[in-house]
Amino acid sequence: MKDSDDETPGDTTGTVQMIPIDRISANPYQPRKFFDPQKLAELAESIKSQGIIQPLVLTRSSDGFEILVGERRYRASLVAGLKFLPAIVRGEISDRAKLELALIENIQREDLNAIEEARAYSRLAEEFGLTQEQIAKKVGKSRPAVANVLRLLNLPAQIQRAVIENKLTEGHGRALLPLENDREKQMEVFNWMLEAGATVRDVENRVREIKNLPLKPYIRSTKAHQPDPEIKQLEDTLREKLGTKVRLQKTGESGKIMIEFYSQDELRSIIERLSQK
């Protein structure tokens, strides 16, 4: 099994086949561990009425097939009671490529929380010997960005779990890192932030008070950016239909739609879906 830097986990050439769902198993290298039950139920209802629009990508395993791309669709299909799933079957690939493919797919579609992302980076480093620079190149981020995410693994398990469950943001977690040498104070601020619904700036200043550092000034923005719920809903709908990240920018009555793709195969697939009546 090859395991070189030249291996391209995103290559998904092949014809679509209908695969029995009971012969499909999850990717053991899938970095995404938390799947929102409500969103899975919503996707299951969509699959019941419209079917699966984008095929899964599988590789053969000793007793069937293993998911490379599309675990969320697979889980929702189980809920929906489907017996067969459309899929593209790839040849055998290395364990590292399985992790890279799952990681890149989730990052490109913004499906990973910061802790899952950090754990995936850590596995690439510890199990496969990749440097932070190599990881950054693989996922299209800067090395400092990768290093900052990895630092979140220094947080206690309880705080990491809160990030995974969306009880606090990556920014809240990062604000607690200066207290990593004083776990008691760190947990005290963590519990306070949950009870008080504190902002990231509130937490930063609470930490600076504990460390006897000058407080950061609160700067009132003249125009606070509030995402438009209607635009967000449209982006989510298009992302689900096209299977890739879609951004809408609106200026008055006009605007533009940006559809991202990450391979020629994905571009062709998007064009086919856009052409469907």
Active site residues: 71
Residues 188 and 177 in one domain: yes
Q: Judge whether 6 lies within some domain.
A: no
- Domain limits for position 253: 229-275
Residues 135 and 193 in one domain: no
| Domain harbouring 84, CATH code | 3.90.1530.30
What is the predicted pLDDT for the residue at 1? 35
Residues 99 and 118 in one domain: no
Q: Judge whether 3 lies within some domain.
A: no
Measured CA distances, 178 to 40, 174, 189, 210 (Å) = 36, 8, 12, 10
Out of 42-46, 128-132, 142-146, 252-256, least confident range: 252-256
Q: Judge whether 220 lies within some domain.
A: no
Q: How confident is the model at residue 160 (pLDDT cuts 50, 70, 90)?
A: very high
Q: What is the Cα gyration radius of the chain? A: 21
pLDDT for residue 116 is more than 70: yes
Residues 160 and 102 in one domain: no
Q: Judge whether 79 lies within some domain.
A: yes
Residues 148 and 183 in one domain: no
Q: Judge whether 129 lies within some domain.
A: yes
Residues 141 and 185 in one domain: no
Residues 81 and 34 in one domain: yes
Residues 58 and 123 in one domain: no
Q: Judge whether 4 lies within some domain.
A: no
**pTM value surpassing 0.85:** no
Q: Which of 107, 129, 146 is the last residue of a domain?
A: 107
Q: Which of 46, 74, 107 is the last residue of a domain?
A: 107
Q: How many domains does the chain have?
A: 4
pLDDT for residue 254 is more than 60: yes
Q: Which has more confidence, 43 or 14?
A: 43
Q: Judge whether 11 lies within some domain.
A: no
Residues 46 and 118 in one domain: no
What is the predicted pLDDT for the residue at 174? 92
pLDDT for residue 70 is more than 90: no
Q: How confident is the model at residue 185 (pLDDT cuts 50, 70, 90)?
A: very high
Residues 130 and 162 in one domain: no
